Structure 1
Amino acid sequence: MTRVRAAAGIILRDKASRVLLVSPTYKDVWEIPGGMVEPDESPADACVREVREELGLSVSAGALLCVDWVPASPPWDGGLMFVFDGGVLTPDQIATIRLSPDELGRFDFIKPERLDEVLIPRLARRVAAAVAAIGRGGVYLEDGRATASR
């Protein structure tokens, strides 16, 4: 039976519709909040747990915005990346963000049209597709790209 790794992320926005990105302390790239799904944990639960651990925020994983199949890239196996809608954060919520110093060095809100300047290409495609899916229904991607009907 095939096994794949799974991770879940969340799109959190400010009132200007900018997307919250985080800078992990253990790598040189920006990401959306989230992380790996643990054994016997749902992607939605993983997302909520990671946001609480990394940012100190209690949010709900709303609508599923996209599922992205990521091909294997040794040493990593292929995987499924889930992205949920976390809604718009209030100024009070933003003020209470507390980064886990072991995991995150900083955060910033980025305009959607600038995602490709900040994120690695595959993640920029995934996040842009997720943002475009808000209020429209989720999409299926492969390596960050929409697939044609098969």
Structure 2
Amino acid sequence: MGAGLLLTDPDERVLLVEPVYKAEWELPGGCVEADESPYQAALRECREELSLEVTPGRLLVVDWVPARDGRTEGIMVVYDGGTLHPDAQERIVVPPGELKGWAWSDPPQARQRLRPLLARRITQALHARADGVSYYLEDGVRVA
């Protein structure tokens, strides 16, 4: 199980992080550890990856992902991390052993940087935020 945060800037660009261990960018977040809730994991990962104390907001999407490429099936949840204003952006520090960096991404940039599954998930999370609801996804596609 994994948990992430959808963070945007005042221009509605999404904050993406670039891991050192893979080619694709991601949302801030990661694996839920033993005896940890997804909500706690999102909070911890934001602190570890960005050095920011962000209190996750409401659940935006739950995404069931089928098994593939030697990986088991999984559940990914994305919480609303809110809008980061310039003063918070200035405090971002990424751990050099884990991340190459971070960047704001508009929709075309996000599609270039992300795997198609994650691009679909983020698009649905943005829709859920705008609609004031939560969505259930399967492989990044809205089911309910």
Q: TM-score range by the shorter chain?
A: over 0.9
Residue 99 in 1 paired to residue 94 in 2?
yes
TM-score, normalising length from structure 1?
Answer: 0.92
2:136 corresponds to: 140
Q: CA deviation at 1:117?
A: 2.1
State the secondary structure of the residue aligned to 1:106: strand
Report the alpha carbon displacement of residue 74 of structure 1 after superposing the two structures with TM.
3.6
Corresponding position: 1:13 with 2:43: no
- The DSSP-based 3-state class of the residue aligned with 2:112 is helix
Partners of 1:122 and 1:31 lie apart in 2 by 11
2:113 maps to 118
How many residues end up aligned between the 2 structures? 143
Aligned to 2:48, the other structure's residue is in SS state helix
Give the CA deviation at 1:115: 2.4
State the Cα distance separating 1:113 from its structure 2 match.
Answer: 4.7
Name the CA distance, whole Å, in 2 between partners of 1:114 and 1:74. 26
Deviation per residue, 1:3-62 (Å, 9 max, x gap): xxx000100011111000010011111000000000110001000000101110000111
TM-score, normalising length from structure 2?
0.95
1:29 to 14, 24, 32: 24
* 1:3 paired residue number: none
Given candidates 64, 69, 91, the residue that maps to 2:64 is: 69
Range with greater deviation from structure 2 (47-56 or 139-148): 139-148
Does residue 80 of structure 1 match 2:75? Answer: yes
C-alpha distance after superposition, 1:86-125 (max 9, x if no partner): 0001101100100011111011001135422221000000
Q: Displaced runs of 4+ in structure 1, greater than 3 A?
A: none
C-alpha contact 1:66 1:129 (8 A) present in aligned 2:
yes
Distance 2:3 2:60 in 1: 11
Query: Is the CA contact 1:14–1:109 (under 8 Å) kept in the aligned structure 2?
Result: yes
- Whether 2:48 is the aligned partner of 1:53: answer yes
Q: Are 1:44 and 2:39 matched, yes or no?
A: yes
Unaligned runs of 5+ in 1: 1-5
State the percentage of identical aligned residues: 48
Report if the CA contact (8 A) 1:25-1:103 is conserved. Answer: yes
Amino acid at match of 1:53: E
